[in-house]
Structure 1
Amino acid sequence: MVEIYGIKNCNTVKKALDWLKEHEIAYTFHDFKKEPAKEEKLTEWAEKVSWEQLVNKKGTTWRKLTKEEQDSVKDTSSAIRVLSVNNSMIKRPIIEYNNLVLLGFDDNIYLSTLKVPQ
């Protein structure tokens, strides 16, 4: 089963959800607005992908941080601390599947990684 994490009104999350539906892949969606990601889950993801990949530095939430707050994000623990209170700054969607963590939406990676029914 695919677990997908994100914010329902995010365009990239919408693309991923549409892709999963189109390919008839069962999934469970976790909306950060209703179920914020906790430090334990962020730590789990950071063990599989780098903390730099988890932090969305292109988004509005990152840009709203002060220079000092941005500069304080320099390693896994500081990133997890900031992401746990700013879930909208997490790169999304995050997909968990077979002990893998995928970030963002990429049709080719989804096709090669997620089990598509024949």
Structure 2
Amino acid sequence: MMSMAFIFPGQGSQYVGMGKALHEEYRVARETFEEASELLGYDVAALCFDGPKEELNRTFRTQPCLLTASIAAHRVLTAKGLAPSAVAGHSLGEYSALVAAEVIEFRDAVLLTEKRG
């Protein structure tokens, strides 16, 4: 069996539309965006999918949004049986890696990344 690693992106890789295809097709992705929205008090999916870009690029919005899109992708892949043997992240992506490795809970990472921003 081949081993694989998941590498999570850092701030600067965000874009309007990120995570939209996953959200449309996979329930686990929708649930991930909904969970983040409940914690943050705004519609994370709407901001990620529709912007505006200027709001998405505000650091305290960028960080939890990018984390949410990353974890949505991770949850879709693991639900399909693609489990990594290692995870890593660039800068902000380390929070996604910690969630993927089950070191911290997604809810805690969402709140931490908002504060970090």
Q: TM-score range by the shorter chain?
A: 0.3 to 0.5
Report the structure, 1 or 2, having the larger strand content.
1
Report the structure, 1 or 2, having the larger helix content.
2
TM-score in terms of structure 2 length: 0.36
TM-score in terms of structure 1 length: 0.36
Q: Which one has a bigger Cα radius of gyration?
A: 1
